[in-house]
Structure 1
Amino acid sequence: MFRLPRPAAWGQLRFGGRLGWARGAVGALFGVALAAVFGKIMPGAAQWPWIVAPVGASAVLVFAVPASPLAQPWSVLGGSMVAALTGLVIGHLVADPLTAAGLSVGMAIATMTLARCLHPPGGACAILGALAATSPTGSWSGLLLPLLVNVVALVFAGWLYNNFTGHPWPHIPAQAPPMPKGTWAGTYERADLDAVLEDWDEVLDVAPADLDALFRAVERRVLRRWEDDHK
């Protein structure tokens, strides 16, 4: 039977251990449900959507990869609202929905980056904003208010659930203990890591401090094995 090839990168993804996917799934269920409830009970809920679709994408980041710089509270809240507002502005300036949708996502990336709240679901929020602005029945409040209520509820759920399940959120980078003196381990400095990241010129979805702690932990493990082999 013909089967599609399995991308090699899939085997490299890890979501918090063997049951990390289950923790993320339960968290997303809790977060989206809470966002929906808040959307249902907010004043004027009968006139506006009680839940906005990009919240589902935000939930994947908040609960499946809570250590990601793109999944932190300010990224979720600020990125969603800044992008939606950008889309609304572009939509009012550009009457054509097709053009407005593309421009809104491009401008949303720029505004989110400047505000230090880059958040992938913000692209969807920007498109919703552009479509709402170019629609005869669309309104600013009809998008911004339900989105704000949903996102605030999701951020609260993320803070509650992630901290309860042992994943401090906002994420706190691991602090690597000092390496023993007089060995090869620990000879690289943080400046070396920063220089390599600068040379790569890529946006990695991991904080440099977490990368540094990971490298230090690998060094300690290799050093222990090296010491055992030379006893």
Structure 2
Amino acid sequence: MALNSIITTQAGGKRRFGPMRAALGALFGIAMAGALTRLLEGGYDPTLPFLVAPLGASAVLVFAVPASPLAQPWPVIGGDLLSAVVGIAVGKLVGDPWLAGSLAVGLAIAVMMATRCLHPPGGACALLCALGATGTPAWGWAHLLPFAINVVTLCAVGWLYNNATDHPWPHRVPPVAHKPGEPYTREDIEALLAEWDETLDVDPDDLDAFVQALLKRGAARG
């Protein structure tokens, strides 16, 4: 039996997202990340971890909500690694775990937003690295190695697994064609989002496609 037939269900001829699909994806992703990191770290430094805790949160995003803007490859890789760098740097400079942790998370958020790679687990990476850098023994730049291997491996598994189970990743926004006389435009969506002044966990183009599909469904019913 094909993998995607095991982990998805059928509804109206189209595949539906299933919790088993996400669960198995996370299992494979974490297992592969841990195995490869342990292999590549072998003989390098036995004190380095082979799995870092924020990777679990990244796995939730990559496999459970692969269409989220927060779960795309650049946010996952850039968000986690840039935040880890911020955490190590701040921890080394400040020295106090309470102040270093606070500053690291705040700075990591600013860096992620400035580089367009906002990823919630990045905050955990920054905090973990800041605390590690102020601990005993203190974490150094070598501790970025498991973060890098973990994150890149998770993304590689995410790319293979999500695409193999009918969830293209990186997410591709469905094309939307507007017709004259429609009740809204793409510019209306952008204007409303700017008016709300909120960061929504959905791409504006996905919102556009969703509303278009909703209008078509309503027209067909009427």
The one-character-per-residue Cα deviations of 1:170-221 (angstroms, maximum 9, x if unpaired) are: 1111113455x6xx6x331111111111111111000000000000000000
The residue aligned with 1:192 is: 188
The residue aligned with 1:85 is: 85
Aligned runs of 1:28-107 on 2, under 5 Å?
28-43=26-41, 44=44, 46-107=46-107
Amino acid at match of 2:169: W
Which range moves more in the overlay, 209-218 or 31-40? 31-40
The residue aligned with 2:23 is: 25
CA drift of 1:143 comes to: 2.1
When residues 133 and 45 of structure 1 are mapped into structure 2, their CA distance, relative to the original with a 3 A threshold, is closer
Unmatched 5+ residue regions in structure 2? Answer: 1-13
The residue aligned with 2:169 is: 169
List structure 1 segments (4+ residues) > 6 angstroms apart after TM superposition: none
Unmatched 5+ residue regions in structure 1? Answer: 1-15, 227-231
The residue aligned with 1:126 is: 126
The residue aligned with 1:145 is: 145
With the length of structure 2 as denominator, give the TM-score of the two structures. 0.88
Is 2:116 aligned against 1:116?
A: yes
The residue aligned with 2:212 is: 216
* Whole-Å separation in 1 of the counterparts to 2:190 and 2:171: 20
Amino acid at match of 1:87: G
When residues 45 and 26 of structure 1 are mapped into structure 2, their CA distance, relative to the original with a 3 A threshold, is farther
SS in 2 for 1:188: coil
CA drift of 1:69 comes to: 0.5
* Whole-Å separation in 2 of the counterparts to 1:169 and 1:22: 18
When residues 105 and 58 of structure 1 are mapped into structure 2, their CA distance, relative to the original with a 3 A threshold, is same
Q: Is the 8 A contact 2:174 2:206 kept in 1?
A: yes
Amino acid at match of 1:223: A
When residues 105 and 62 of structure 1 are mapped into structure 2, their CA distance, relative to the original with a 3 A threshold, is same
The percentage of aligned residue pairs carrying the same residue is 51
Q: Is the 8 A contact 2:88 2:141 kept in 1?
A: no
Number of aligned residue pairs: 207
Give the alignment's Cα RMSD to 1 decimal. Answer: 1.7
Q: Is the 8 A contact 1:39 1:45 kept in 2?
A: no
* Whole-Å separation in 2 of the counterparts to 1:162 and 1:130: 32
With the length of structure 1 as denominator, give the TM-score of the two structures. 0.85
Q: Is the 8 A contact 2:178 2:185 kept in 1?
A: no
Which range moves more in the overlay, 147-156 or 87-96? 87-96
Q: Is the 8 A contact 2:88 2:130 kept in 1?
A: yes
* Whole-Å separation in 2 of the counterparts to 1:200 and 1:94: 37
Q: Is the 8 A contact 1:63 1:158 kept in 2?
A: yes
* Whole-Å separation in 1 of the counterparts to 2:186 and 2:144: 41
* Whole-Å separation in 1 of the counterparts to 2:135 and 2:47: 16
* Whole-Å separation in 1 of the counterparts to 2:189 and 2:221: 24
When residues 177 and 20 of structure 1 are mapped into structure 2, their CA distance, relative to the original with a 3 A threshold, is farther
* Whole-Å separation in 1 of the counterparts to 2:134 and 2:15: 45
CA drift of 1:98 comes to: 0.7
